[in-house]
Amino acid sequence: MLSAAAVALSLSAADAKTIRWARSADALTLDPHSQNEGPTSTLLHHIYETLVLRETDGSLTPRLATEWNIHPDDPSIWVFKIRQGVKFHDGADLTAEDVVFSFNRVKAESSGFRALHAAAVSAEAVDDFTVHIKTNGPSPLYVQNLTNFFIVDKGWAEKNNVVEPQNFAAGEDNFAVRNTNGTGPYKLVSRDPEVKTVLTLNENHWAEKPQVTEVIYTPIAEAATRVAALLSGEIDFVQDVPVQDVIRLQETDGVTVVNGPENRSIFFAYDVSSPKLRSGNTDDNPFAKQAVRDAIHMSIDRDAIKQVVMRGQSQPGAMPLPPFANGWTAELDAYDKPDYAKAAELVKEAGYPDGFSFDMNCPNDRYLNDEAICQAVVAMLSRANIKANLVSQSRNLHFPLIEKRESDFYLLGWGVPPFDSQYVFDFLVHTPTGSYGSYNGGQYSNPELDKKIEELATMTDLEARNAQIAEIWKVVMDEKIILNIHNQVLAYAMKDGINLAVHPENQANMSTVTFK
């Protein structure tokens, strides 16, 4: 046990040139178009850049695009002016051709981001620094989808045979998985996956030089070990502070803790389509029955999860959408207290007098207390005679199960970078087909709803669009195809003297760090 004096000594002001950064999980890959996943995108934002960026207040700011507007003669075309004088890390100039190449690459079948561009049909380099992106109709909110659209160098990608993104779910490898060539403020020095990644300052970056000139990124899955590394002085900044340690760290001399709501819902989904589950003891699919889904929702005590599992660090809600995203309503987010007796009766009436069992898939190294949330839900479902066998594993194994639709019941967290409901619908609700439904692991399918979802991208009457969003949400919530638990609340912990605000998408960026 460290003495107070020892703790204070070990937490001396951080070196203004180096930040030693730890969080619970590593990037899954460095291929910038492969995995639409939080830690992966956060690390990539240091190396690659996007046309626009989301600020901590939710606004859009120019990045590689200096301006953007809808074409005056064709409302189905977005015009982007590309920043001049920008160079990739290997010295190549950024031009409109790189943006067009990146557009085509991100729309490939193996891209985890392709649903963000479902309404976009083509990109054209009008001149060296002007790009036209054509959508399948007027799409006034398309630019909101570009905050994680990383721009890669066409020549570098062609030279290294990475024209197509890595197919992560299929276990594919490529040169871009461990090698990079972005335009971002930092360059890759070395990478040992799941151990350490080192970045150094890009001296030729176009923007103002950041105060942090070296980043040492260390994934530390074990919560207690992350905190101990901060207290011992081995780490300067911890991004994923365990909920059980927030109060203790707030009371520790030499440590600064900042809090803020995250743009991320934590929920369960289940296979509602297959005739028979892959696991369990039934010859049919209980989750295909509305009564069973009703029983599942009746069995969840979100307030208990907040109090016991999350130590107060969550915002419980029934709607898989954060309160600051377009389409959220207090009415849809409201939830009832659990009714285990009624839930058990519904299960019995649905044809399972002795209940039923199945495998529940859960990551143990991605979200705040993810495995503990799953354990709590297992106990709650058991009171309704629904027996979940918890299968807990690393996110490296968990996410491919969802993408390949091989799980009966699973936990997932979902942020909404465009701050609009369409993002949830495109990825999680639309029938899995083409660019849509890539994370609809429950295989929910409603052709009438699909049509309404697709229409949202090109609706210019925002009042009518919001009304249609409300219609879609009513179906989603009534049919209970998603079991939402809460929105995450974030806490960052760092040595005194370091300033870094909580980002709503949990995209901590070391280039924005300042020192007292």
- Rounded to an integer, the average pLDDT of 134-140 is 93
For residue 339, name the pLDDT band (cuts at 50, 70, 90).
very high
236-268 pLDDT, tens digit per residue, is 999 989 899 999 999 999 999 999 989 999 999
Give the pLDDT score at 14.
Answer: 47
CA distance 122 to 181: 24
Give the pLDDT score at 15.
Answer: 52
Percent of the chain with pLDDT over 70: 97
Query: Where, residue-wise, is CATH 3.40.190.10 in the chain?
Result: 11-20+186-257+493-515
Give the pLDDT score at 442.
Answer: 96
Which CATH superfamily includes the segment(s) 262-489? Answer: Dipeptide-binding Protein; Domain 3 (3.10.105.10)
Angle between helices 447-456 and 462-479 (to 10 degrees): 150
What is the pairing mode between strands 214-219 and 18-23? parallel
Give the pLDDT score at 240.
Answer: 85
168-184 pLDDT, tens digit per residue, is 989 999 999 999 999 99
Give the pLDDT score at 324.
Answer: 87
Give the pLDDT score at 58.
Answer: 82
Tell me 12's DSSP state: P
- Rounded to an integer, the average pLDDT of 181-206 is 98
CATH code: domain 27-169 is 3.90.76.10
Instruction: Point out which residues pair with 359 in neighbouring strands.
Output: 389
pTM (2 d.p.): 0.82
Query: Where, residue-wise, is CATH 3.10.105.10 in the chain?
Result: 262-489
Distances (CA, A) of 279 to 99, 356, 386, 390, 396: 45, 10, 13, 12, 21
CATH code: domain 11-20+186-257+493-515 is 3.40.190.10
96-122 pLDDT, tens digit per residue, is 999 999 999 999 999 999 999 999 999
- Rounded to an integer, the average pLDDT of 494-503 is 95
Give the pLDDT score at 3.
Answer: 40
pLDDT at 13 over 70: no
- Rounded to an integer, the average pLDDT of 414-424 is 93
Give the pLDDT score at 16.
Answer: 55
Supply the mean pLDDT for the chain.
94
pLDDT at 8 over 60: no
Percent of the chain with pLDDT over 90: 91
Query: Where, residue-wise, is CATH 3.90.76.10 in the chain?
Result: 27-169
Q: Which residue has the tokens 């495995």?
A: 371
- Rounded to an integer, the average pLDDT of 203-209 is 96
CA distance 205 to 395: 33
Instruction: Point out which residues pair with 415 in neighbouring strands.
Output: 264
pLDDT at 494 over 80: yes
Q: Which of 8-12, 42-46, 79-83, 332-336 has the lowest mean pLDDT?
A: 8-12
pLDDT at 502 over 80: yes
Q: Which residue has the tokens 């690390």?
A: 43
Tokens of 173: 């490898």
pLDDT at 163 over 80: yes
448-463 pLDDT, tens digit per residue, is 999 999 999 999 899 9
Instruction: Point out which residues pair with 391 in neighbouring strands.
Output: 361
